[in-house]
């Protein structure tokens, strides 16, 4: 296995030192440590950041970033505000410039570079353990509508936390941490009452195409 020396790679230096990214999740099964990247990993990273359909969400304080689909990630209110602006948060994102191999502030049309966008969340998510923060990558496709998540879906999210970790946490701590993460991201949690439409929670998942995790 061949590793790339970050000392001689300007793109990895930019991601690791300037953007403060240590772990980069390309998808739910592929996490790259930027100070120890294989040649194959680098190819995937480079391909992903040139795709204009992608948005890299960087939790800068926590040194972890997630490669997401631009169309689905806007379902999360906080990310949408960074991309589109609001009365409380101005537009705040960067675009990858393939010439400089850096993410840069946009001073022209978004289509100038036609490559990946970068949203940097530069504040600490206090009391959110890394194992819960990693659930971020599962959120876009469980949001129903109007930034809504049903309460029973919290159990669904919990299932993605490693057993070795979840076994030593209390139920209250797990769910309070997940709720806190959703609240910071601007997501609302409601109980699900429409049993006449979906008799069981399983029926809900079967009938809701938004919950197809393969499309995140």
Pairwise CA distance, residues 25 & 64, whole Å: 8
Report percent pLDDT > 70 for the chain. 84
pLDDT band at 138 (very low <50, low <70, confident <90, very high): very high
pLDDT band at 112 (very low <50, low <70, confident <90, very high): low
Tell me which of 54-68, 105-119, 179-193 is least confident: 105-119
Mean pLDDT of the chain: 85
pLDDT band at 113 (very low <50, low <70, confident <90, very high): low
Q: Which two tokens stand for residue 93?
A: 């994102």
135 has a pLDDT exceeding 60: yes
Task: Residue 113: name the closest of 127, 101, 96, 130 by CA.
Answer: 96
Pairwise CA distance, residues 136 & 185, whole Å: 9
Angle in degrees, CA 119, 124, 125, rounded to 5: 95
114 has a pLDDT exceeding 60: yes
Residue 39 backbone phi and psi in degrees, to 5: -60, -40
Task: Residue 27: name the closest of 58, 67, 73, 65 by CA.
Answer: 67
Q: Which two tokens stand for residue 30?
A: 């592929």
pTM for this model (two decimals): 0.84
Tens digits of per-residue pLDDT, 158-207? 999 988 888 899 989 999 999 999 999 999 998 876 544 444 455 545 54
Q: Which residue has the tokens 């953007």?
A: 19
60 has a pLDDT exceeding 80: yes
Pairwise CA distance, residues 35 & 8, whole Å: 12
């Amino acid at each position: 296995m061949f590793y790339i020396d970050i000392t001689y790679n300007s793109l990895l230096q930019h991601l690791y030192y300037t953007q403060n990214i240590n772990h980069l999740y390309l998808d739910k099964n592929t996490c790259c440590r930027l100070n120890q990247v294989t040649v194959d990993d680098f190819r995937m990273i480079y391909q992903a950041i040139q795709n204009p359909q992608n948005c890299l969400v960087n939790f800068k304080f926590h040194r972890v970033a997630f490669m997401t689909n631009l169309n689905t990630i806007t379902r999360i209110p906080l990310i949408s505000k960074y991309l589109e602006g609001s009365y409380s948060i101005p537009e705040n994102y960067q675009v990858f410039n393939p010439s400089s191999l850096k993410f840069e502030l946009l001073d022209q049309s978004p289509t100038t570079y036609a490559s990946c966008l970068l949203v940097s969340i530069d504040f600490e998510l206090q009391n959110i353990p890394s194992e819960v923060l990693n659930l971020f990558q599962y959120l876009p496709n469980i949001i129903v509508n109007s930034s809504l998540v049903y309460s029973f879906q919290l159990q669904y999210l919990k299932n993605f936390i490693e057993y070795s970790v979840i076994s030593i946490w209390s139920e209250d701590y797990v769910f309070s941490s997940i709720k806190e993460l959703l609240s910071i991201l601007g997501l609302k949690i409601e109980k699900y009452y429409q049993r006449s439409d979906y008799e069981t929670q399983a029926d809900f998942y079967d009938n809701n195409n938004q919950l197809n995790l393969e499309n995140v």
